[in-house]
Structure formats: C-alpha cells, structure tokens
Structure 1
Amino acid sequence: MKDALDDILVIELGTVLTAPLAGMMLADMGARVIKVEHPEGGDPFRRHAGTFYSPHFTAYNRNKESMQLNLQSEEGKADLAKLIVKADVLLDNYRSGVMQRLGFDDARLKELNPRLIHCSVTGFGTDGPYRDRPCYDAVAMALSGIASQMVDAEQPSLKGPSLSDNITGMYAAYGILSALHKRTRTGEGARVEVSMLEASIAFSPEGFSQYTRLGLVPHTLSRVAVSQSYAFRCADGRLLCVHLSSVEKFWQGFISAIERPDLLEDERFRTPAARAGNYLELAATVGETFETRNREAWSQRLQAHDIPFAPVNTVPEVMQDPQVRHLDVFYEVQHPQEGKLTAIHRPVRINGGRGPSDKAAPTLGEHTEAIRSEFGLS
C-alpha cells in the first residue's frame, strides 16, 4: 500500500522540537517534507553535539529534505513564496508576529495558495499577555500544571524527557491531518494554531476534572496512588515497576506472588480506596519484601500470577528487550556522509506494514540544489 500522505508537500520552517516532530510524523506517513534552514548553521538542534548532525537533530528529522534559504533576504522570501504556491502544508514554530514581519501574513498566504494548510506552533498563543514571551519545554510544563505533578516541592528538580515539546508536535500533526481531510471536501485551506501551553493542559485533563468536580488539587502522588503504581528496588539493586490498577484480581495475585497474605487483613490496605490513601505506607511495606529477591526472580513470580509489571529499563536495556526486538523497533540506515546510523521505525502500522524504508535525517542543505532546480528558484 502506498503511504497515506504520499501526495502531500510540506514546507517546514521549524527548529528544535515542536514543528520538526510534527513534520517528521507527516514524513513518516509518506509526505514530502522540505525543511527550510538558515544557511548559517541551520536548525540550532544540529549543533548540540558540536557538529551539524547531532543525535538530537537526527531524532526529530528523519525522512526529510534540507534546503538552505535566507529568509532575511528578498531573494529568499521570493523563493519561499514559490515553494508555498506548490505546497499543501506550511509548518512553522516561530514566535508570534515573525511570519507577518517576513511578509507572510494570513492574507498573503491565502493569496499565494488558497488551498494551503498553515500550521503555526507558538508557546502561548498568538495573542494575550504572554504572546511575546519565549517558551521552551520546561516553561510549558511548569505553566500548564504538569510539572507540579512531577516535581517534589521539598527537593525541586526537573527530570525526564521533553514532554510539552513532543505533546505539542503531536497535536500539531493531528490538527494538520484534520484540516487536510476537510480540504478534500471543501477545497479550501485553513490556519491551524497550536500553543505549547494549551497542548500541555489538554494532554493532562484528569487533574483539572478532579479539581473542578471534587476540589482536589493534584500532586506528585495523586495519579500513582489511585492507579496503584509502584517502583521497587530488588535485592540486586535493579528496579521493577508494578501497576495494579483498581482490578481486585491483580491485588489478590500480587499478594500471592510476594507471599504476604498478612496484607489482606491489614485495615490500611483492605480496599482500593484504603490502599490509595495509604500509598506510601504500602509502598514501604512491600518494598522491604522486594529487597529479598533479585529482579529476575520477581519478574518470574509476577508473570506467573499475571500481574502487570515491567523492569525499569535503561535505554540500552530497552534496545535489547525481547519484545522490542520482536517488533523491530530499531534499525540501521546508511547516510552518504555520516555513515551507519541507528534509527526508530514509525510506531504506526497500516495493513500490517510501515511503508517504504525510512531515510536518515538530512545534512544541512543536502537537497538545496535539487530543490532549486525542481521549483525554478533563484
């Protein structure tokens, strides 16, 4: 089967994470994505490892073409206009007002291409008191309330991967696909706007529902207590995660697996509500038991009792995990300049397949001359 978007041309004016992730998701589904980069250095993410081809950049830019274009020059703006005339999607994550200053406001874009889907990703939206402020992942996580459910107030420290950036890129791709589908019926283009603040709030709706309906302010243990999610250290120092949910059979099986029938009679843990209310006490009590066997032994016992569990894998362990290897998640791709690279297949299969093989992220300006010739640019 041909890829779903193989007739779609995307012009990406994106840097770092949000727009590049959205562009990569479209490219993974077959869209042709031309990434427009400044001649001097290109996407800043290229330089995170001291080169123009950092691991950070390659993670978010597979299956794209790179074209160098100076949008500060009149020639560069004229060339961009020619690309827009042919494009189906224009994607940017500039600050509010930048596209207008470049001469590409909504009216100009509609004049150039009435069928264009223009997706603009911003930090806080295109208007309002924060519209001109810079925004990055940690800022959006903090302002949206996500960080308050992850950061210990007594020992504050941000941890983990980029969430708001990735969340926003996914919502941008979702909005673009919706606009493209509507265009098949109306023939008209659309303006799609996604802010990191709104996307982050929308991604974690449960806490707001709890607060508005029950008056509960979520904190770092709110979700894990209700879902009965735990991380335990085993005798060999390795970590293991258990998620018991509210299904009583998992609690009963868990008690059998760890051989702690005494917990069934403990008033603190008799019901799901009691276990949630005494989450830290239960975690400490069971944690002592997990220190008596190594992780492999506990994994075998939990699996035998059909308990939802998993080792807390490091990145190298993920790549060697039997299920991950079975799914063929990782693969090697040969880049003409950078050599052999490890990449990740798109996570979506259609009719059992992923489509054509993925291409490595482009080097800076790798396709400039070919694109200039094809589109008749200056």
Structure 2
Amino acid sequence: MFGVLNDVRIVEQGTFITGPCAGMMLADLGADVIKVESAGNGDPYRSFKTGFYSAHFQAYNRNKRSISLDMKAQADKEVFYDLIRQADVYIQNFRPGAAGRIGADVETLHAINPKLVYCSISGFGPDGPYAKRPVYDSVAQAVSGFLGVAIDPEQPRFIGPALADAITGIYAALGIAGALVERGRTGKGRLVEISMLEAMMHFAVEPFMGYFALGEQPSGVDRPRLAQAYIVRCKDGKLFAFHLSSLDKFWEALVEATGAHQLAADPRFAVRLQRIDNYLELSDELNAVFAQRDRAEWVERFAAFDVPYAPINSIPDVIEDPQVGHLGVIVPVNERSEGASFSVRPAFTFDHQRANAVKAAPTVDEDGADIRRALGGDRHNWPKRHARVALKTPA
C-alpha cells in the first residue's frame, strides 16, 4: 500500500457530495476512510437515480470502507465513539446544529479525542442570517457570485457538473491536511470549518480583485473577452476552442493556421486591445472561417502551429485521447461487486509514481462486521486494508 496519508484514520459521516468528496480526496492520498452511514439505505446519494449504488455515489466514495450505524441506538453510538477514539480526522456536512443532536458535535468529540481534527462543512457557515437555510450546489454557485462571472447573461444556464459541491470538498480536504501538519507540531486537534459560500468566493477571487482594484463589476463574458478565448463551430458542427491570451505570437499563429489574413488586416482586430473591444465581432468572423472545414481537419492543421487549442471533447472523446492514455488517467476499479469497471485515477503523482487502480465504493455496511470485530478486540490492530491504490511508474 502506498500513500502520503497512510496510517491516517478518518471517520467520514458525509452525504451527497461535499463531505464524501473531502473524504475521497484524502482516501486517494492513502488515508483509511471509514464512511459512517445511517442504518438502512445509507447515504441518500446511493439512490440518486435507482437502487443503492448510483454512479454518482460511486464517483465520490471510492477507496473507502463503510459501516452502518443507528446514531439513536446507544450501542451503535458507542461504536461510533470507539471509532472517534482511534481516528485522526472526523468529517461531517450536516446542517448547523444537526451534529449536536446526534452527539457528534465538536465539543463532545474533542472531549473523547483531543487530538481529533474535526471538519464541519456547511452551506453558509455555522451561524449568521443564512445559516439554517437549505443549500445545494446551484444555490451556492448563485449566491457566491460565481455564476455571475461564469455564465453568459444573455443565455443564463447552470454550469455542470456540481462544481460548488466538489470544490468545497477539495477545500475541506486541503484544510484538513493543513491541520494534520500542524498537529504533528503541536499534538493538538483543530476545528476546521468550511462553507460552500466561502469556498466559491475564494475560488472566484480573481473577479473580486478586479472589482476591488478597478471598481469594475465583472460579468460572465469578461474572462473570455480579456483572455481572448474562443469557442467556434466547425463545418461538421463540432466545437473547437483556442486561447490567445496576451501574446501577439498566438494571434499571428492563428492567422497563419487559418489562412484568414484578412482578419489581421482588419482595423477592428489589428491590436489586442481592439480585439478585446470587438470580441463579439471577431468571434463571428472566426466562426465563419472555421465553418469551412471539419474539426478533424482543423485539429490536424493546428498541430503545426504554436496556438493553445483543443477540440471540445465529449467524455467518450476524452477516454480515447492519446495524452490521457499516455498519462494512464483511466484505471480499473478493483474489488467491485457491481457498478463501473473503470474510473478516473487520483490526479497526484509522487516521486514519479501514480495509482493504476482504485478500490470500488463500498456497498452499505460492507465493512461493518470487520470494523466492529476490530473495535471489540485490540483497537490498535485494525483489519488490514485492501491494496486500494496500486502503483505504476510512468515510462
């Protein structure tokens, strides 16, 4: 087994995405993540479509173990507290106040284990005027200002996948990792709190700084206009993207690649600031140019020029992409009884080594018996984890 967080034990009591994503990020780094689920059907995300093993659940719960506990039953609550005694980290994404009602608030758990890193994930924070409001991904995207700078105001549509949920989970994992490093120096636990509102505002820090520094109110078209990023439709209807940034060499290479020398001679597009001011007009002109050839022909043509470009791939396209294949990003799912046979590996490479498999997300209470047996005996002698993260060194 390999991982920079090997021997770190995490109890995750998360549902849907934010908490499970945080747990998955740490599990991908080698931590032993025990997912505590409610008795019965477990995490509601299991049945997001049908059954109790949805693709959505599989996405955020790989490399974990599962135990089902009824937090209203004293015997199961004692099992939970035994887990906390042996844990380094606890993660929950309940609404504010819910953890206290089941005896999983930070005060109770720190009294049991003062070294515990306790992570609480919420929608709007632990208190304040919005604290008790329900919040999901789309709401967090909207209230944080992210949608305001990410969508076309003329054609407003939500951006998928669940960005706010996943980004908040990633921020939570980062905060937890930092608290673990600090605990290595101090020996003391921490309360780590992160809300979807705060995570998405930080994620959108650039437009906030634009507002503070320049007094300009950003909109959803500012970033592509200033970055000179374009999406064009080719003759076969497929989409193609390129990003010219602030370097004139990319504009000059684009003109050569397309053979559209008339655009370079057009006074509306002669210099970068004019191309920014006339972004929509240039977009129309470029769409007319790209409509003359199929996308595959444009991809082949652009390969000879120094322009940042890419076809806008579908998921099947990405799976077949040669660079993705070279990096070994698609890996098998081990120890599966159902569900997907393949997944996307963890993004990290350590000392030239990367994962070449992941362990399947657990079924409800899949590891409950093993975990209970370990707690009832030598609590330091936990059952050996499966070799969840196999390795390979890139060629």
Settle same-fold status: TM greater than 0.5: yes
Which whole-Å CA distance do the structure 2 matches of 1:278 and 1:340 have between them? 47
For the residue of structure 1 that corresponds to 2:232, the secondary structure is strand
Cα distance change of structure 1 residues 159 and 356 upon mapping to structure 2, 3 Å threshold: closer
Aligned-pair CA distance for 1:97: 0.9
Name the counterpart of 1:360. Answer: 360
**CA offset digits 1:298-356 (Å, max 9, x no partner):** 11222211111000101111111111111111122244521761111101010111257
For the residue of structure 2 that corresponds to 1:304, the secondary structure is coil
Which whole-Å CA distance do the structure 1 matches of 2:125 and 2:78 have between them? 27
**CA offset digits 1:51-100 (Å, max 9, x no partner):** 11110010111100010001122222222111101100000000111111
For the residue of structure 2 that corresponds to 1:217, the secondary structure is coil
Aligned-pair CA distance for 1:110: 1.7
Contact 2:153 2:220 in 1 (8 A): no
Corresponding pairs, count: 377
Contact 1:84 1:113 in 2 (8 A): yes
Name the counterpart of 1:77. Answer: 77
Which whole-Å CA distance do the structure 2 matches of 1:349 and 1:152 have between them? 36
What amino acid maps onto 2:41 in structure 1?
A: G
The answer on 1:271 being equivalent to 2:271 is yes
Contact 1:334 1:340 in 2 (8 A): no
Q: How does 1:124-273 map to 2 (within 5 A)?
A: 124-273=124-273
Which whole-Å CA distance do the structure 2 matches of 1:332 and 1:105 have between them? 38
Contact 2:331 2:357 in 1 (8 A): no
Name the counterpart of 2:386. Answer: none
Which whole-Å CA distance do the structure 1 matches of 2:59 and 2:272 have between them? 41
Cα distance change of structure 1 residues 44 and 294 upon mapping to structure 2, 3 Å threshold: same
Aligned-pair CA distance for 1:357: 3.8
Cα distance change of structure 1 residues 314 and 18 upon mapping to structure 2, 3 Å threshold: same
Which whole-Å CA distance do the structure 1 matches of 2:199 and 2:222 have between them? 21
Which whole-Å CA distance do the structure 2 matches of 1:295 and 1:61 have between them? 37
For the residue of structure 1 that corresponds to 2:303, the secondary structure is helix
* TM-score in terms of structure 2 length: 0.92
**CA offset digits 1:171-205 (Å, max 9, x no partner):** 00000000000001000000000000000000011
Name the counterpart of 1:67. Answer: 67
Aligned-pair CA distance for 1:38: 0.8
Name the counterpart of 1:45. Answer: 45
Name the counterpart of 1:107. Answer: 107
Aligned-pair CA distance for 1:251: 0.5
Cα distance change of structure 1 residues 293 and 68 upon mapping to structure 2, 3 Å threshold: same
RMSD, matched Cα: 1.5
Contact 1:88 1:116 in 2 (8 A): yes
Structure 2: gaps spanning 5 or more residues: 378-395
The answer on 1:376 being equivalent to 2:376 is yes
Which whole-Å CA distance do the structure 1 matches of 2:203 and 2:155 have between them? 25
Cα distance change of structure 1 residues 272 and 327 upon mapping to structure 2, 3 Å threshold: same
**CA offset digits 1:249-283 (Å, max 9, x no partner):** 00111111111222223222122221111110000
Q: Which moved more, 1:103-112 or 1:29-38?
A: 103-112
Which whole-Å CA distance do the structure 1 matches of 2:280 and 2:237 have between them? 20
Cα distance change of structure 1 residues 257 and 291 upon mapping to structure 2, 3 Å threshold: same
Name the counterpart of 1:117. Answer: 117
Name the counterpart of 1:11. Answer: 11
What amino acid maps onto 1:256 in structure 2?
A: E
Name the counterpart of 1:292. Answer: 292
Cα distance change of structure 1 residues 347 and 77 upon mapping to structure 2, 3 Å threshold: same
Contact 2:334 2:357 in 1 (8 A): no
For the residue of structure 1 that corresponds to 2:30, the secondary structure is coil
What amino acid maps onto 1:212 in structure 2?
A: F
* TM-score in terms of structure 1 length: 0.96
Contact 2:68 2:365 in 1 (8 A): yes
For the residue of structure 2 that corresponds to 1:275, the secondary structure is helix
**Identity within the alignment, %:** 45
Which whole-Å CA distance do the structure 2 matches of 1:7 and 1:186 have between them? 19
Which whole-Å CA distance do the structure 2 matches of 1:334 and 1:175 have between them? 29
Contact 2:62 2:358 in 1 (8 A): yes
Contact 1:241 1:311 in 2 (8 A): yes
Contact 2:55 2:339 in 1 (8 A): no
